A = this chain, B = another copy of it.
């Protein structure tokens, strides 16, 4: 029997935002696959889980996922090799009958790198026994921390990464709520645009929602270079 693979969202950082199901599956799993942003760094997802579940005696497999590069930026081959290494290890385990958990920050369906692996795993194990367990996404966590209503009744929400995406202005014009992800590298450009559009008083900048060093800016004018962080987003609520 091939083992089951549970892809679990562990939420944005606060270990109390793990679901009961995530905790149960983590306790039951003999083997946990853990993504790491850099090879030398530690896994944020693992550090969240460790605070809620005793991992003693479990096998931990680390998988290197470079966060700052994507296929679009011309590192496709290098990335494919990294992912293939993880696919090989995970598929071998599953085929030997071991159940596994793959943990991912936030929610697994929402900008999670696991999906880069999914197709490759299906190639090797067409009848893959896989279950996705949703987690609290950064958007929901950030809105809660900032006491913001993302949408009510007939309102429309757009979510877009600010780094690569054109058309931010048009989206801001047409949607009631716009969530700008991955905003830390273009923060000051976005702030200028929001100022031009008269939306600066409608914008909130939430940094590391639910983590110990969380910060919430209800006035973007007060944000400085040193306040910017990879784990941050802007919510514009008109």
Question: Chain A residues in contact with chain B, CB under 8 A?
Answer: 9, 11, 14-21, 23-24, 52, 70-72, 107-113, 115-116, 118, 130, 132-137, 140-141, 143-145, 147-161, 163-165, 167, 171, 174-175
Min Cβ gap A26→B in Å is 12
Bound-state Cα–Cα, A118 to B9, Å: 29
User: Which chain B residues border A150 with CB–CB below 8 Å?
Assistant: 109-111
CB-contact partner of A109 in B19, B118, B148, B174, under 8 A: B148
CB-contact partner of A158 in B21, B152, B158, under 8 A: B158
Contact B154 A143 (CB under 8 A): no
Contact B156 A9 (CB under 8 A): no
- Copies of this chain, complex-wide, total 2
Contact A157 B158 (CB under 8 A): yes
User: Which chain B residues border A136 with CB–CB below 8 Å?
Assistant: 19, 107, 134-136
Min Cβ gap A234→B in Å is 15
Contact A140 B9 (CB under 8 A): yes
Min Cβ gap A54→B in Å is 14
Bound-state Cα–Cα, A115 to B155, Å: 13
Using known A-B contacts A23-B20, A110-B150, determine if residue A156 contacts B145 with beta carbons closer than 8 Å: no
Min Cβ gap A89→B in Å is 22
Contact B154 A156 (CB under 8 A): no
User: Which chain B residues border A135 with CB–CB below 8 Å?
Assistant: 136, 140
CB-contact partner of A134 in B112, B140, B161, B165, under 8 A: B140
Using known A-B contacts A152-B116, A153-B161, A156-B165, determine if residue A17 contacts B16 with beta carbons closer than 8 Å: no
Contact B21 A19 (CB under 8 A): no
Contact B21 A20 (CB under 8 A): no
Across chains A and B, which 6 residue pairs bring their CB atoms closest together, nearest first? A132-B144, A154-B164, A109-B143, A16-B21, A115-B149, A156-B160
